[in-house]
Amino acid sequence: MVLAYKQAFNNYANFKGRANRPEYWWFALANVIISLILVFALGSSSNATLLSDLFELAILVPSVSLLVRRLHDSSHSGWWFFIGLIPILGQLVLLYFLVQPGVPQSNQYGDIPQPLAR
Q: Where in the chain are the domains? A: 2-99
Q: Tell me the HSE value of 93 on the side-chain side, using a 13 A CA sphere.
A: 11
The amino acid sitting at 82 is F
| Nearest partner of 18 among 100, 118, 88, judged by Cα | 100
Interior CA angle at 43 toward 40 and 48, to 5°?
Answer: 105
Q: Return the sign of the alpha-carbon dihedral for residues 74, 19, 66, 72.
A: negative
Query: For residues 78 and 3, which has the higher predicted lDDT (pLDDT)?
Result: 78
pLDDT in tens, 83-98: 999 999 999 999 999 9
pLDDT in tens, 17-72: 999 999 999 999 999 999 888 888 777 677 777 888 899 999 999 999 999 999 99
22: region left, alpha or beta (phi > 0 left; psi from -120 to 50 alpha): alpha
